[in-house]
Structure 1
């Protein structure tokens, strides 16, 4: 476990930093996904971006807006036309610390609130974390990519029964594509957790400007409640601190087991994103 620390305060400046890193990751992965076929796009606006990486992709969304000016009506109309041309709804992930005028604009344009996601963070400060002894975590240097992908995709395909149901579901192939694209586009570090000699879970981490973004964490159903996620968190946090990162962040579903595990490792809730959707 990490050392006990006080809650981390998040203002608009820190939220903007986190949203910039998230936007860069989504845009990079979407640009990789666009190579698989025509119709993809990335549009930078409002300090964030709108992306479409292909039919059914989890990367089809608007992220990071609200920290670089308020988009004009014309910009929203252009984005909505772009999604309409590919037959996809517009999904906006809007941070609560973004300019509040954007939420008012979106509700006025007919966007519906679908769900929320929480962004949590922890200051690293050269600390170390020790994971459960019964779980071994290895960093994948490239020779275990297929194993990592199978474990993570299988884990995501079987949501934790204690978590609230998601408003969206993705086919296995779409999940595999986005995991592969995120890993190849963003210099992502991949980790595999082994329990009793068998692959039990996987996760990833990317670093950008001193910020470590933890993502892609999933545990196979047979290995849940055995410390796998705690081990993966501990390994990534220790590596991030050693790499000189000052902070780590993670995004979770509200009230999920992932949020509970993160808070057990010292993470604090920084802010929430509202997920708003419009059929166009």
Structure 2
């Protein structure tokens, strides 16, 4: 089943719920690295968290702020000092539906708007989705984790040129470390897609509080435009519904092929995050 059964409306309450799940996922992955001895920190900040997993890590950012009031000037100064002490710029992911005072505060403090990302969602309602027959998707139960990691890292190392671009570019080693830590944290499931018997793509899904976050989807460059992402999306949506989740969400670059695929499967655009950065 792939029909759009109606546009999903997102108010502040739903955005708060989604941002809380995202905060827990990022903080959990950073804590996995910390237990491995790589250093880092996770600081509760407002209703979100300030996370550091190393300079240049995709997990080094402030997430989830804006739904419990605007942090004070002193609180921002404390977070900025924490990042300055480790030599990292401060990156803030700010949801459009959060407290509007925060964006004005940050621009006044010298933060620059770098890019945007879209959060899309779909109500699951116990439905099932059918993917293309030429692509087989199976869940990795641990015996294929190295294959999964190679596929998703290769896919992310060669970003699709369709759609809007991101200011973020990360080395292969940083991507691999983050993907491994994200897959080890929280309630995360890994999936591999095969075409003609060979690995073609991979993805993950986290479930928390009735929300399925569809993350880490990547296709090998030579096998793009062959239904791999559609197959991975369909498999995860069906499993999320079977697991009792009421909502699935996905984050994409605006105007990207990933956003097009998601909306073609019935996702609605819920809100946008602005990515703001202040250099140390």
C-alpha spacing 1:39/1:138, structure 2 compared with 1 (3 Å): closer
Q: 1:38 to 1:239 in 2, by over 3 A?
A: closer
Relative to structure 1, the CA distance from residue 38 to residue 156 in structure 2 (aligned partners, 3 Å threshold; closer, same or farther) is closer
Given that residues 33 and 54 in structure 1 are in contact (C-alpha distance below 8 angstroms), is that contact kept between their aligned partners in structure 2? no
User: Which residue in 1 is equivalent to 2:200?
Assistant: 200
Q: CA RMSD in A?
A: 1.0
| Native 8 Å contact 2:33 2:39 kept in 1 | no
Aligned ranges 1:33-72 → 2 under 5 Å: 33-37=33-37, 39-72=39-72
Alpha-carbon separation, structure 2, partners of 1:82 and 1:52: 9
Tell me how far 1:39 sits from its aligned partner: 4.6
**CA distance in 1: counterparts of 2:237 and 2:249, whole angstroms:** 10
Q: Give 2:171's aligned residue.
A: 171
1:67-102 Cα distance to aligned partner (Å, 9 max, x none):
122111111001000100111100000000001111
Q: TM-score, normalised by structure 2?
A: 0.98
The 2-side partners of 1:70 and 1:38 are apart by 31
CA contact (8 A) 1:136 1:194 kept: yes
The 8 Å contact of residues 200 and 219 in structure 1, kept in 2 or not, is answered as yes
Correspondence for 1:277: 277
C-alpha distance in 2 between matches for 1:271 and 1:200: 30
The Cα shift of 1:198 comes to 0.5
Matched, 1:149 2:149: yes
Change (3 A) 1:52 1:123: same
Alpha-carbon distance in structure 1 between the residues aligned to 2:67 and 2:44: 13
8 Å CA contact retained: 2:165, 2:253: no
> Could you tell me how far apart the structure 2 residues matched to 1:51 and 1:30 are?
7
Equivalent in the alignment of 1:190: 190
In 2, Cα distance between equivalents of 1:243 and 1:39: 34
